[in-house]
Structure 1
Amino acid sequence: MASSPYTDLDRPPLSARALQRALVVPGGMWHRVDVVGETGSTNADVAEAARNGAAEGLVVVAERQVTGRGRRDRQWVSPARAGLTLSVLLRPGLADADRGWRPAPQRAWGWLPLLAGVALMEAVQRVAEVDASLKWPNDLLLEQGKAAGILAEVAGDAVVVGVGLNVTTRPEELPETTGLPATSLRVAGAKSTDRDPLLRALLRGFARWYGGWRETGGDAELCGLLGAYRRGCSTLGRDVRVLLPEGGELTGAATTVDGDGQLVVRTADGVERRVSAGDVLHVR
């Protein structure tokens, strides 16, 4: 009997050939989809490709990532083929005459990780058929806890957006956390944990939202992204504690997300503060 090419039968490898054929299409956004068995960090790989002149639309997917990280340099750990770990290359500051896209102003680039969050939430809801929401700015929440994180980094005139989603991770494989507990689609009882259609849905949704965002010059409200984000953000309407990057914290009620993607927090004295970066803890 021939040995299996992978040891865990509910964790089949992704087919780069099938993904390339499905996603790299004439007039489409994605021009190359690479699937690697193992890498240190897909964000680092794509950032290096960006510095070497790679065009917008590169996707790098890793079956196993050994030095992945999230915000505040937190480590993102997942067993081989148990999740989706990928990064995409964007060049929002460059015009695209073929598509009629003018450069998006750099002040609008902060919307890109939120855009990725909306695309991921929609893909999970549609393919896995589980309830999902976003904790500002871009953590994917299921009822049981956090299932995914998104990290965007600027590399010269490019933006690299990385996504890490727990798919078939078992309870005993989930890392211990000091904040929200980690979870996976499997733990949440997803109808499907097939990574291939999840990845296709994510990248197609990302391309659709990104195209609309670019067509409007990076206007999140005009392209509908702001409304979609607000509808999917479970942070809004809650009392929150925000750990600020410069130190200190802010507490109050999260009232909305503004046109720049900032979280608006009303403090106990009635003052509205806008937060562009920080770790949010849901108090209730």
Structure 2
Amino acid sequence: MSIQSTPLTAAAVRPLLRGRFGEPYLWSESCSSTQDVLRGSDLPEGAVAVTEHQTGGRGREGRRWDDSPGRSLLVSLLLRPPPGAAAEQLSLVAGLCVAESVEEDRDAASIKWPNDVLVSGRKVAGVLIEASEGAVVCGIGVNVLQTEAELPAQTRLPAASLLTASGRALDRATLLASLLEILEHRYDAWRRSGLAPLLDELEARNVLRGRDVRVAGEAGTAGSIAPDGRLTLRRPDGSTTLVGSGEVELGGP
């Protein structure tokens, strides 16, 4: 049976917020995508769009992001990083924040470079970064309350929700407030120093390290996450390269 959840309206979430992220807070019962709500707007940094259901949710490379209404966190955050900053690194920053926010009293969450969050080897969350004209819209989708029957079956990675991974029905408003607080802290550290202060924690969650993968036309063994956010790949001939983007497929050459 599906678990009922209180909608993530401003009245439910604003009293829980503990920082500057979340104002203005734009909630809707349904929309095409929370990314579309913020893209191209003149809203200030920290503006958040949240919905209960997306009719056109998407992930990286144009893939669909399906949800069950009222079961997920579907949130986009507007950021305005310094000119020249490596905005693509924010995928890892946000992934780290999601992992931190979902793992308390549960199995440790790991990061599958560059934008997925896993619990017990199954995907519970994804991050989508879209940058234009000095602004970045950071979209985050977290499966929270879906049952096994409500999770998508045909996915590149086996899907899970925090409910199926932990057996606990978490309060979405509390989770959202925690995520935004962690995001603010980590984003400010990134603005000051890039990925350097986050690398140890990212590496501790790097689920790809030591695994055979294929990415961006290259096959090899995944290594560490480099200081600029790229993934180290050791080729079969022993040479190494750095991969900046691409879909990671698990498996040998």
TM-score normalised to the size of structure 1? 0.83
What's the counterpart of residue 170 of structure 1?
A: 147
Residue 210 of structure 1 pairs with residue 187 of structure 2: yes
Q: Is the 8 A contact 1:153 1:161 kept in 2?
A: yes
Residue 121 of structure 1 pairs with residue 99 of structure 2: yes
Indicate the percent of aligned positions where both proteins have the same amino acid: 36
CA-to-aligned-CA distance 1:191-225 (integer Å, 9 cap, x gap): 44211111111111100001111123xx211xx11
Q: Is the 8 A contact 1:20 1:32 kept in 2?
A: no
Pick from 24, 28, 46 the counterpart of residue 32 of structure 1.
24
Q: Unaligned regions of 5+ residues in structure 2, if any?
A: none
- Structure 1 residues 278 and 39: CA distance shift in structure 2, 3 A: same
- Letter in structure 2 aligned against 1:237: G
- Letter in structure 2 aligned against 1:210: Y
**What is the CA distance between 1:130 and its match in structure 2?**
2.9
Q: Is the 8 A contact 2:16 2:174 kept in 1?
A: no
CA distance in 1, matches of 2:248, 2:28: 33
What's the counterpart of residue 240 of structure 1?
A: 213
CA distance in 1, matches of 2:201, 2:46: 23
Residue 260 of structure 1 pairs with residue 228 of structure 2: yes
What's the counterpart of residue 71 of structure 2?
A: 82
Pick from 117, 124, 127 the counterpart of residue 147 of structure 1.
124
- Structure 1 residues 239 and 58: CA distance shift in structure 2, 3 A: same
- Structure 1 residues 29 and 86: CA distance shift in structure 2, 3 A: closer
What's the counterpart of residue 194 of structure 1?
A: 171
SS of residue matched to 2:186: helix
CA distance in 1, matches of 2:134, 2:241: 30
Pick from 213, 216, 229 the counterpart of residue 202 of structure 2.
229
CA-to-aligned-CA distance 1:119-176 (integer Å, 9 cap, x gap): 00000012x6233111011201111511111100012210000001111111111112
What's the counterpart of residue 45 of structure 1?
A: 37
Aligned length: 252
What's the counterpart of residue 11 of structure 1?
A: 5
What's the counterpart of residue 275 of structure 1?
A: 243
TM-score normalised to the size of structure 2? 0.93
Q: Is the 8 A contact 1:24 1:32 kept in 2?
A: no
CA distance in 2, matches of 1:159, 1:123: 21
Kindly report the root-mean-square deviation, in angstroms, between the aligned alpha carbons of the 2 structures.
1.9
SS of residue matched to 2:11: helix
CA distance in 2, matches of 1:168, 1:18: 17
